[in-house]
Structure 1
Amino acid sequence: MTRPTYLPAADRYDTMTYQRSGRSGLRLPAISLGLWHNFGGVDRLEQARAMLQRAFDLGITHFDLANNYGPPPGSAEDTFGQVLAQDLRPYRDELIISTKAGYDMWAGPYGNWGSRKYLVASLDQSLRRMGLEYVDLFYHHRPDPETPLEETMGALDHIVRSGRALYVGISNYGPEETREAARILRELGTPCVIHQPSYSMLNRRVEGGLLDTLREEGIGSIVFSPLQQGLLTDKYLRGIPEDSRAAADGRFLRPEHVTDAVLQQTRALDTLAAERGQTLAQMALAWVLRRPEVTSALIGASRPQQIDDAVGALHNRHFSDAELGRIEAILGA
């Protein structure tokens, strides 16, 4: 009998925190791993494999993808499918695998936005790339200004009823769009269980109404870019290094985003994090997770050690009133 090449850590569930998504039965790890960058066809498969294995060893059971993740588009799902087949297939029922559709994916009028045609076809392609019969969670990735919301939400309902996904959610929707999408799905009998917005210490737009909407509607959230594309780590405290990926790739930080004012803020936050016994990244993750509306913080990684650091945030999620006040003063909020 051939021995498996990968055996996950026996204690993987001992220290990870799992939180319920709104009023649903879906529970997610407080830290989830996103495959937006560093898992594409231009990246090393073995490095991706090492990160996915390490994440699962630490109790991260949720892996977040989208049809266009790569580059090239689709290749992150290909990579995940290979690692699933090689290492994680025996543990499929322990995993929450999500994917999305809503951005440009293929040529012609049916490869973008939010039509029923696009969403169903895209998910079928994603399932083939990953070698799955279903995903646990499928999102509409962004609102479509032209397709009726009833059609888009109806497609999500159909996707669940057809067995392609267990749960559905939305991403990048504003408060009123979220409320209306939730109403339609609720009437169809397929509730919206989660929203994926951007949220960090440096990007607090969701505090302007979306978090209130999620709480009132009983919808969970998984926040992306909680480290603000790396700005809330120690990597850019002195600006963008010339040899960094951000310096050469426009999808990452741009020089105009790394102003002297922002650097002054991140350095002051780094000082506070050190006083709390945390890295800046750990404090930034703990800060978004302090909100009861936030089910999980979605991280990216380029090496396994970054995943260890992120999970370390869970050792200290408490903020005193004085610390929160100091953060507000630093941010000028």
Structure 2
Amino acid sequence: MQTKQFSTKLIQWQKENGRHHLPWQVKDPYARWVSEIMLQQTQVSTVIEYFERFMSRFPTVQSLACATEDEVMQYWSGLGYYSRARNLHKTAQIIVNENFGVFPKERTEWEALPGIGRSTAAAIVAFSFGAKETILDGNVKRVLMRLHGIDARADDKDAVKRLWALAEDCLPDENIDVYIQGLMDFGATLCTKHPKCLTCIFQKECKALEAGLQEQIPRPKKRLDRPVKERTFLLLWLDNECLLQKRAEKGVWKGLFSLPQKEGILTEQQIEVAVRAMGMTIKNMRPLESFSHDFSHYRLILHPVAIRVQDKGESIANQRWVSLSELPDIGLPAPIRGLLERFFA
């Protein structure tokens, strides 16, 4: 198939069948940038609510730059991959303080900013300024690999190099934003993991379909056995307050608030020692149901224990007692927020 023929057909498909009412589909580099960062490794259906809430609180890059990191994390809480929020905040400060609030118009300028790779940068300038740049996210890789019969993993270096070349060759001379959105939408709604080939406009041209490999291409990534880590989480509470601890600025959930935790599965005696070391006396305690949470590199088994204390003990750095009414305004990891909501329901 001729590359220009592909882009022409895709643009027409996008105009007739694509998504046209997403809240970030505006010629605003700020909205486009925020949405592209949120959409990294997160589905559109999940992002919409978070995007609208985030933009309501931080409607401009200046308001985002002036916010504290804690507040930014609060409005990101639940989306996961929290380094995205920290990089978003850092980039906002760079744009405001070093670039006088002016957004870059070149892909390479965006790539120089924290947390922004080639594909994300290309999407921002294509949608915001009509720049002739292409993207290569997971959806686009899947479409191009099937269309051209590239039987490999999507992260294969040689395959990625070839895919970038194909993606650039397919770029039209006009309607860049429509074409880029079409690539995203086509991969997200039609050429999915289990493709809807019967309604595909590229049936005759698709080499994967011709070879009967549409379900196998791209090849799955090598599965790695994730190690399992177990932690005991101390849900210390008194009246209508619970104790939260701010995570260190490294590791998972860094910069967020969580519950005090200990490695492994603690016995009652070990829990008593830990609570006593925090200057508190236990009134009563009971184990809560254990549950798991998957990270990209390991599985965490959470063993929460509800501990009612007699007093708040001494003030400790990075810890604070929080009332139930304050919890919605605190940046918490999704599994911890869910745990607290279930316990205090």
TMscore range, shorter length: under 0.3
TM-score (norm 1): 0.23
TM-score under structure 2 normalisation? 0.22
Q: Which has the larger radius of gyration?
A: 2
